[in-house]
Structure 1
Amino acid sequence: MDGAPIPIAEFERSQKNAPRFARTSTTSIMAIAFPPIRWIVPGYVSEGLGILAGRQKLGKTWLALDWAIAVACGGMAMGSIACDQGDVLYIDLENGQRRIQARINILFPDQRRRPDLARLEWVNDAPALNKGFLDALEDWRVSVDNPRLVIVDVLQRVKPAGNPNQNSYESDYSALAGLQRWATDRRVAVVALHHTRKGGADDPLEALSGSNGLSACADTTLLLDRDQNGTTLYVRGRDVEEKESALKFVSGIWTLTGEAADVRRSSERGNILVTLEDAEEPMSPSELAHVTGMKNGNIRRLLHAMAKAGEVQKSGRGKYVHPNNAVEKPRSADPR
């Protein structure tokens, strides 16, 4: 009968079987001694799931290989970041063993000086994330002494097809959730290579191909990009400090050259100095912006700092000149 009270016995049975939250007090959480974050490439790659994204042919595989070799050998990543040695699994689903061998030969043309790469293992075929991928990862993990890094090149090859009952965000998030949980629980870094969409985005994380579910699930997102100022590696994550670093790529070797803002500023200063030195007369900030293609506001700020540092000189109202082109003002005649 509608509205009739529920018998006490039936109510108690329903309460006994009802789901309940597993609650933990703040006091208990604060008493836990958590181990420090396990860094694989300090400042860039830590335990958990990371996504390394960039346009095609930009060098993502070379960068991932740089990290893999640095960890497997206990060497330097990007030329300057010391890595603790451990076991690395590189799941290369695009290149094959012939191309892998060719890349190693480019990096180490003299076989006598080639480091011991025994702790770097390769896989060229893998099941999808929802069809045994995690079981295969676990089998590798328990078979090596110190599992530290897994590279998945590329994510699209193991990512399952979208679920028609979910929107793209839900589908992408659920596709990576198991991999993220495995990497976090096992304290292993998994870096999955991925592409960026054409046209870019205002927020770097919006540039990833697919939905925002990928970057939302990942612990760290790294974006490799190139513009008129050079190549940069942007990183943002739950445990990593947000940063943008400048990189240089020569003959398969990535080298970290500094913070992108500092390198970009140095490049812009050099551009201004070259333009002023070639100029036949003093130039205004607007004229410099037109010639160099730099933003007017940036030019003005840089010129102010450069004038203060003595790198350029003011010449007349609102104009600047290179020190080499500065004309010393004639001394006034002796009034006597």
Structure 2
Amino acid sequence: MSTTEEAISTITANTLQAKEFPPLRYAVDGYIAEGLTLLAGKPKIGKSWMALDFAMAVATGGLALGSVECRRGPVLYCALEDNHRRLQRRMSQLYGNVEHWPPELHFATQVRRLGNGLIDDLREWIERHRPKLVIIDTFAGVRPQGRREGYEADYSALAPLQELAGDLCVSILVIHHLRKMPSDDPFDMISGSTGVTGSVDNPFVLHRGKQGVTLYGRGREIEEMEQAVEFVGGMWKVLGDAAEVRRSEERNAILEVLEEVDEPMGPKEIANALGKSENNIKQLLFKMHKDGEIKKRGRGRYCAADET
């Protein structure tokens, strides 16, 4: 009696339990893992500078974002909004004092689009060079032309890149844009439908707010993060957890105000001096007094801890 192959292929729980997988590898530890990563931000915020920082750090085995160690390996950077002259100028600005730019950092300024040969081209290049990181800057440069709108179209546009990254165990980073419309959730500002974020393993958003620039990250292979970052001299640096950094900045601002006056101040006076909410200042003053950063003088009046 002949048997027919089942249409749905399965794996039992006990077989799954016995399987062994190699550890997940990162191109940039804690940030860019094997799979498809998306970095979105508004124009001119510095997405390409951050991508170049990642590329150079991996190609040299150096530090990304000023402090994140990277495992050395080949990198393919598809800089689709640049030419060789601009790339040389940007590299010279950042790394002109380096005697030799890394031979393992490869640039391409023109590639075919998704749905028109790009996946085959990338597969061939990856199998030949075995890169740790592939960067596509930007998604608009490889997006299928004449595409439909909506979740399904956005998801299917990026899905082949996600599948390729998984098949070849490589990190692929795609640079993308944000919409102009603000949102309480930074990831809702990513241009396109939710199919864009749904098709990638780890989305990131680089966003400038009233308190500075924050790098937001979440995904399947990374810890959810909100990192305060700073752009100085063409280089991005991580300052630390955004909430901690902003809180520290606000505390320092309060201390500066108290140190500049001879008399203790109340929450309303401090709030007016800083242009902040009185209620928020009250809460922060309470915590600062509890931590010994400031002293209380009378009812609701504060001075710096080193004042007598």
**TM-score in same-fold range (> 0.5):** yes
For 1:319, the equivalent position in structure 2 comes to 301
**2:246 is the alignment partner of 1:264:** yes
Cα distance in 1 between the residues matched to 2:105 and 2:159: 26
Give RMSD over aligned pairs. Answer: 2.2
Matches within 5 A, 1:137-286: 137-144=122-129, 146-161=130-145, 163-164=147-148, 168-279=150-261, 281-286=263-268
Amino acid in structure 1 at the alignment position of 2:237: T
Q: Deviations over 1:1-48 (max 9, x none)?
A: xxxxxxxxxxxx9x958x622121111111111111111100110011
Does structure 1 conserve the Cα–Cα contact (< 8 Å) formed by 2:217 and 2:225?
Answer: yes
Amino acid in structure 2 at the alignment position of 1:160: P
- TM-score normalized with structure 1 length: 0.85
Cα distance in 2 between the residues matched to 1:129 and 1:287: 59
Q: 1:133 is matched with which residue: 118, 126, 130?
A: 118
Matches within 5 A, 1:35-54: 35-54=22-41
**2:96 is the alignment partner of 1:109:** yes
Amino acid in structure 2 at the alignment position of 1:121: H
Does structure 2 conserve the Cα–Cα contact (< 8 Å) formed by 1:74 and 1:82?
Answer: yes
Amino acid in structure 2 at the alignment position of 1:122: F
Amino acid in structure 1 at the alignment position of 2:303: V
Greater Cα shift, 61-70 or 224-233: 224-233
For 2:47, the equivalent position in structure 1 comes to 60
Does structure 1 conserve the Cα–Cα contact (< 8 Å) formed by 2:34 and 2:165?
Answer: yes
Q: Which runs of 5+ in 1 are unaligned?
A: 1-12, 329-336
Q: Deviations over 1:107-159 (max 9, x none)?
A: 1222xx33441001011111111110101101111221x31111111101111
- TM-score normalized with structure 2 length: 0.93
Instruction: Report the Cα offset of residue 234 of structure 1.
Output: 1.2
Q: Deviations over 1:250-307 (max 9, x none)?
A: 1111222222222111111111112233356543334433432334443233211211
For 1:124, the equivalent position in structure 2 comes to 109
State percent identity of aligned pairs.
43
Instruction: Report the Cα offset of residue 163 of structure 1.
Output: 4.1
Does structure 1 conserve the Cα–Cα contact (< 8 Å) formed by 2:202 and 2:218?
Answer: yes
Q: 2:56 is matched with which residue: 58, 66, 69?
A: 69
Q: Deviations over 1:85-116 (max 9, x none)?
A: 11100001111110100011111222xx3344
Instruction: Report the Cα offset of residue 180 of structure 1.
Output: 0.6
Does structure 1 conserve the Cα–Cα contact (< 8 Å) formed by 2:186 and 2:207?
Answer: no
Does structure 1 conserve the Cα–Cα contact (< 8 Å) formed by 2:202 and 2:222?
Answer: yes
Cα distance in 2 between the residues matched to 1:132 and 1:84: 30
Does structure 2 conserve the Cα–Cα contact (< 8 Å) formed by 1:222 and 1:236?
Answer: yes
Cα distance in 2 between the residues matched to 1:181 and 1:296: 52
Greater Cα shift, 208-217 or 256-265: 256-265
Q: 1:296 to 1:26 in 2, by over 3 A?
A: farther
Q: Which runs of 5+ in 2 are unaligned?
A: none
Cα distance in 2 between the residues matched to 1:162 and 1:313: 65
Does structure 2 conserve the Cα–Cα contact (< 8 Å) formed by 1:173 and 1:216?
Answer: yes
SS of match in other structure, 2:115: helix
The count of corresponding residues between Structure 1 and Structure 2 is 308
For 1:298, the equivalent position in structure 2 comes to 280
Q: 1:297 to 1:207 in 2, by over 3 A?
A: farther
Q: 1:115 to 1:254 in 2, by over 3 A?
A: farther
